[in-house]
Amino acid sequence: MEKIRSDHQKVKQSEEALTGFIATAHDLIFCCRQDGTLLYLNQVGQDMIGSLETLSDGASLFSLTDEEGKGLLVRQFEKVTQRIDVGHFEMRLVSPTVCRTLDLEVSLSTCCKEVPDQMIWGVCHDITERNLAQRELIKLAHHDVLTGLPNRILLHDRLQQARALAHRMHSRFALLFLDMDRFKIINDTLGHAVGDDLLRMIAQRLKGCFRETDTVARIGGDEFVVLMLNVADRADISSLCDNLLIELAQPFMIRNHELFVTTSGGICTYPDDEDDVETMMQKADIAMYHAKALGRNNIQFYNNGMDQNASRRFTIANSMRRGLDRGEFRLYYQPKLDVSSDCIVATEALVRWQHPELGLLAPTEFIQLAEESGLIVDLGEWVLREACRQNMAWRQDGMQGLRVAVNLSGYQLQHSRLVETVRTILAETGMPGELLEFEITESVIMQNPDYAVEVLNEISSLGIHISIDDFGTGYSSLSHLKRFSVNTLKIDKSFVRDVENNSTDAAIASAIIAMGSSLNLKVIAEGVETEQQMDFLRDNNCDQVQGFLISRPLPAEQALKVLRQKCIGELAQGREALKDR
């Protein structure tokens, strides 16, 4: 009897130890029937989902999960009662007490064999926090932190899905690669905080231009990619793109700066340019570079011919530093003729590159690449020094009042050392500021007008003349023009080309001339190729002309011959100076 009593005591003690252990365990422990009816919940379980008394539905575990969860439990219960190992599995419970979902890692066991309605014990580890962190990590890994847009990884994924879907549904999608024009300048001059704000605003505008089902991703600095699903045809895509360019062209107000941004884009479509995902991205990228080469602020569709350009561009970009170090760049000079006196009053220095493998390269092939790499600063400095040196040499030769015009890229204009460099070079070469002219395109000035006003004023105070190049192609308004210390408007050659046949172009050209004169600015027309164009310009009182009709851009020695014929040195300078007053 004593033995039985002591055995009973031991069983009771170990039972108490066990229930004590279960009750205080850190994991949720439950016991239920195969139909889900809960028989026991330890303290942690009651804290998480409430006590058995407070739970409705006969306290069934199944009522705490959705249909999918219930199905999973039923299957796992069945297996475990048949002694099949179910290992760990994850399930989600909805806690009625705290109204939140709980992610649990569950392991199950049964204690009695061959009993009809077996009790099932479950130990559940709360992994809600872990899953949340994991989801956050996945989100971070798939989204760009700055703009919140999908990043390259997620884009790649969506692209793969789009490809598979388009294949199955025989539908078309378009991949649009966008790169903001001259964005580097904004970061470099206004600082990264402004650059970041601008990128966020651009991201918002881009999203606003496309449908919810499209993907707008940011894949690098100022590079965005849009995946447009279910597009009908090229016309459909083109109209979306036109709309996008218009939207982006609206000014951005950031920390008191009014900033203008343009973008260049390349498109490839499925199935027309069908290829693997990586290659399709490359095709859109290649088309984007093509758009940049065409003068930016436009979007181009990919075609096979563009591939050759891509490898050429690669060679050019990679040999530029070396070319600069080895002195492979040359300056050509194109005269500017004063219409009333028929005298050459200035030349424009236009850079060329005598490339050892590719031959003589035009600036349109390398200026943009030089801007992207930042090499434009060194190249521009070389151009300025060489142009001043040459002009001084001509001066020694008797071309006294001849002015030389140098093109300034946007990147140079916004570079903090510009004015200092100009001062140094003028001092070094002995060139009077009055004999130097800078040609700056309208779009470059308009990108950050406030900043441009400041720099142009400083440049102007050195006596240097300032021309707005390619005038008529940008967004200048009269009100903006008045703020700049500008001396000359240079009518873009696209308006000059058709003055004889296109009444709109003729109207624009004569309006620019009239506007220039009312603002006390000189007007020069570029790209004059025919006598008829010349007549039109003369009749409309255009001050100066430049173009193949007078002379092509020429190397210095040949340019000198043209100058000798038509440049009357001091006299021309005297007239110019009089007119400027």
Alpha helix stretches (DSSP H) within 82-151: 128-142
| 103 counts as binding ligand C2E under rule CB under 6 A | no
**Shortest distance, position 333 Cβ to ligand C2E, whole Å:** 10
**String of contacts with Mg ion for each residue 348-387, x by CB under 5 A:** ----------------------------------------
Q: Which does 237 bind (CB under 5 to 8 A by kind): Mg ion, ligand C2E, none?
A: none
| Residue 467 backbone phi and psi in degrees, to 5 | -115, 145
User: What is the pairing mode between strands 120-126 and 173-180?
Assistant: unpaired
Length of the chain: 581
Please state, in angstroms and rounded to a whole number, the distance separating the CA atoms of residues 263 and 253: 17
List the one residue from 407, 412, 443, 551 that touches Mg ion (CB under 5 A): 407
Residues 542-571 that bind ligand C2E (CB under 6 A): 547-548, 553
Residue nearest to Mg ion (CB): 439
Q: Is 363 in the site for ligand C2E (CB under 6 A)?
A: yes
Q: By C-beta, is 36 or 410 nearer to ligand C2E?
A: 410
Neighbours of 14 (CB within 10 A): 10
Which of 65, 264, 334, 414: binder of ligand C2E (CB under 6 A)?
334
| Partner whose footprint covers residue 351, from Mg ion, ligand C2E, none (CB < 5 to 8 Å by kind) | ligand C2E
Residues 483-512 within binding reach of ligand C2E (CB under 6 A): 493
Residue 209: other Cβ atoms inside 10 A: 17
Indicate whether 409 belongs to the interface with ligand C2E (CB under 6 A): yes
Q: Are 199 and 222 in contact (CB under 8 A)?
A: yes
- Confirm or reject binding of residue 470 to Mg ion (CB under 5 A): yes
**Which of 144, 179, 386, 439 touches ligand C2E (CB under 6 A)?**
439
Of the two residues 214 and 469, which places its CB atom closer to Mg ion in the complex? 469
Do 209 and 244 contact (CB within 8 A), yes or no? yes
Instruction: Single out the residue of 407, 414, 443, 488 in contact with ligand C2E (rule: CB under 6 A).
Output: 407
DSSP string computed for 534-551: HHHHHHTT-SEE-STTT-
Angle subtended at Cα 141 by Cα 151 and Cα 262, rounded to the nearest 5 degrees = 20
* 331/484 Cα distance (integer angstroms): 28
DSSP-derived secondary structure letter, 362:
P
Give the binding range for Mg ion (CB under 5 A) out of 40-48, 457-465, 469-477, 506-514: 469-477
Q: What HEC string does 34-80 produce? A: CCCEEEEECHHHHHHHCCCCCCCCCCEHHHHCCHHHHHHHHHHHHHH
By C-alpha distance, which of 213, 306, 336, 200 is closest to 259? 200
Is residue 144 a contact point for Mg ion (CB under 5 A)?
Answer: no
What does the block give as tokens for 510?
Answer: 């004569």
Spell out, one character per residue from 150 to 189, where the chain touches Mg ion: x when CB under 5 A holds, - when not.
----------------------------------------
The encoded tokens of residue 517 equal 């004169």
Using CB atoms within 10 A of its CB, is residue 407 exposed (0-12), middle (13-18) or buried (19+)? buried
User: Least CB distance from residue 490 to Mg ion, whole Å?
Assistant: 6
Q: What is the Cα–Cα distance from 268 to 282, expressed in whole angstroms?
A: 9
DSSP per-residue letters across 464-502: -EEEEEEETSS---HHHHHHS---EEEE-HHHHHTTTT-
Smallest gap from residue 530 Cβ to ligand C2E (A)? 9
Which residues ranging from 511 to 540 are in contact with Mg ion (CB under 5 A)?
A: 526
Q: Which of residues 338-357 bind ligand C2E (CB under 6 A)?
A: 350-351
Token pair listed for 126: 């709360």
| Among ligand C2E, Mg ion, none, partner that 362 touches (CB below 5 to 8 angstroms by kind) | ligand C2E
- Smallest distance, Å, CB 255 to ligand C2E? 28
Candidate segments 16-24, 30-38, 525-533, 558-566, binder of ligand C2E by CB under 6 A = 525-533
Contact (CB, 8 A) for 264 and 299 = yes
Residue 367 within binding range of ligand C2E, rule CB under 6 A: yes
Q: Which of residues 454-483 bind ligand C2E (CB under 6 A)?
A: 469-470
User: In this structure, are residues 288 and 269 in contact, taking their beta carbons and an 8 Å threshold?
Assistant: no
Beta bridge partners of 525: 491, 545
367 touches which of ligand C2E, Mg ion, none (CB within 5 to 8 A by kind)? ligand C2E
Q: Are the CB atoms for 345 and 401 separated by under 8 Å?
A: yes
- With binding defined as CB under 5 A, does residue 439 bind Mg ion? yes
Could you tell me the smallest distance in angstroms from the CB atom of residue 276 to ligand C2E? 37
Taking CB atoms, the residue at the shortest distance from ligand C2E is: 547
Residue 181 burial by Cβ neighbours in a 10 Å radius (0-12, 13-18, 19+)? buried
CB of 418 to ligand C2E, least distance (A): 12
User: CB-wise, 283 or 493, nearer to ligand C2E?
Assistant: 493
Interaction pattern, residues 287-326, with ligand C2E; x per rule: CB under 6 A? ----------------------------------------
User: Residue 536 CB, nearest distance to ligand C2E (Å)?
Assistant: 14
Helical ranges in 225-330 per DSSP H: 234-249, 277-293, 306-325
Separation between Cα atoms, residue 119 and residue 36, nearest integer Å: 10
Q: Which residue, 195 or 547, has its beta carbon nearer to ligand C2E?
A: 547
Residues making contact with ligand C2E (CB under 6 A): 334, 350-351, 362-364, 367, 380, 383, 407-409, 439, 469-470, 493, 526-529, 547-548, 553
Residues making contact with Mg ion (CB under 5 A): 407, 439, 469-470, 526
